[in-house]
Chain A
Amino acid sequence: MYGRALKPLALATAAGAALAFGLIFFYAPLDADQGFIQKIFYLHVPMAIVALLGFLAGGVMAAMHLRTRRRIWDMRSYVAIHLSIILAVGVLVTGSIWAKASWGHWWVWDEPMLVSFLIVFLLYAVYQPLRFSIDDPERQARYASVFAISGAAFTVLNFVAVRMAATYTHPRVFSQTGGNMPAEMFLTFLVSLAAMALIFTTLWTLELGSKNASERLRRARRRLQREADGGALGLDGEGSRARPVGGAPAPATASVSAASVPAPR
């Protein structure tokens, strides 16, 4: 199911990324004040938007999990949030580089987008510790979903709060790069955004597919084990009835161990 979608997605992603790369370096004009470093904008901003949407999508998928009680929605939500955390690290690093190059500081507090991202990142950094310090897989999925929904709501609220604080202390024009961007730049930005979204979707599909495959492998292995145990048991039962210890408790332990194999991480 996942494998089939993966191939066209990967091809589209490769094409999109190549196109974005080409546009960024050969088509988009050099920025008048910032020069070459402004090109990090085509990486930084799409990553930020996609990570943000990933967090929100993780929340929506978590709500679907709580509503339908199907584990697959929790897996989807988990993978989306997990990838968004990785992208968020990228956003913070590229943002920091951009800030150093154009303002001379590694970190600027009057950039509300970057500050909000740091706070959201700090919150979501607790997602995995929370998730993996709950042993029961069913409860783990439920608690992670509650976290994901709260986190998505908080992300929006936090952006409002940080923007309010920033406009209060530093009145600034938002559209420094957005409003009066030349058409070539804007087109390049849109293509980069689409390429980043495709990369995210491909990785998401890939990771879900791999999780799905390893889950199925585990199940198949368990069934094989059970069949092997059952076969050995059947032979034992017919062959040597008066067999001493060792043979008798085998079925019980086999079925117990098959039932209590820890669920996928």
Chain B
Amino acid sequence: MPAELERTARPGPVVIRAAVAILRKDLRVELRAREAVPAMALFAVTAFVLFHFAFDRDALDGDVAAGTLWVTLLLTTVLGVNRLFVAEREQGGLEAMLLAPIDRTAIFLAKAAALFLYLVAVEVVALPAFAVLLLGPDLFGSLPALCALLLLADLGLAAVGALVGALAAETRAREVIGPLLLLPLVVPLAIAGAQATEPLFTGSGAPEDLGRWLGLMGLYATIFVLLSVALFDFLLED
């Protein structure tokens, strides 16, 4: 068993190489079939239109703007998480990956990385759309802080999303269980994101508490990455 030997001899690089291979496959499928990212971006923009009519306001600022942006992005994640494993299972890709002599952690890393990249791609579309359609104050001043918040939140969302996607994919009512699981789990990110973004959108700027909310998001991402790495093996064990 040369592959087995190689795996035990050099565990790190093989995991990373396998993860990169799976990630490249996922990205190629996404580029050709365009199943997740366009749908997520469209969902986000449509949600902004809905929020415009629901609030009956042409421009939002402060806590309402922060809440609208974060709730939209978190709900958009649900779409991505639903697609993450379902296609794999329907088309038998997961079985092939399980047959391959690679660590299961590689599958988690690849899926989380794919979700992270999808989220970043969606935000590249959704953030300008939000600024044009709804946001009252100028976006450019708050862009660096907002980008840091979004990237850190995406990291946590990618970890928790990959875990929830794998958990829900095996259930009978997966399109119900997935969102129901994900929404309570992202409440800490909603808290941190909305609280940190609110001063950015009031126009005054100067988010003196940015550090602690970034810290909370970092803690969240760390805990869920560690949990997922520890628990993912048990989800793909047949």
Contact = CB atoms under 8 A, between A and B. Distances in A.
Contact of B191 (A134, A142, A143, A161): A161
A153 interface: yes
Contacts of A142: 234-235, 237
Contacts of B180: 125-126, 129
A165 B66 CA distance: 15
A146 to B, nearest CB: 5
Contact of A153 (B181, B183, B195, B227): B227
Contact of B184 (A123, A134, A149, A160): A123
B177 interface: yes
A145 B216 CA distance: 26
B170 interface: yes
A164 interface: yes
Q: How large is the interface on A (under 10, 10 to 19, 20 to 34, 35 or more residues)?
A: 20 to 34
Contact of A149 (B177, B185, B227): B227
Interface of A: 66, 119-120, 122-123, 125-126, 129-130, 133-135, 139, 142-143, 145-147, 149-150, 153-154, 157-158, 160-162, 164-165, 168
Given A147-B167, A164-B192, 16 more contacts: A122-B183, A123-B181, A123-B184, A129-B177, A133-B172, A134-B172, A142-B237, A143-B167, A143-B170, A146-B167, A149-B231, A150-B231, A153-B227, A158-B188, A161-B191, A165-B191
7 contacts: A66-B231, A126-B181, A147-B167, A150-B185, A157-B219, A164-B191, A165-B191
Interface of B: 163, 167-168, 170-173, 176-177, 180-181, 183-185, 187-188, 191-192, 195, 209, 212, 216, 219-220, 223-224, 227, 231, 234-235, 237-238
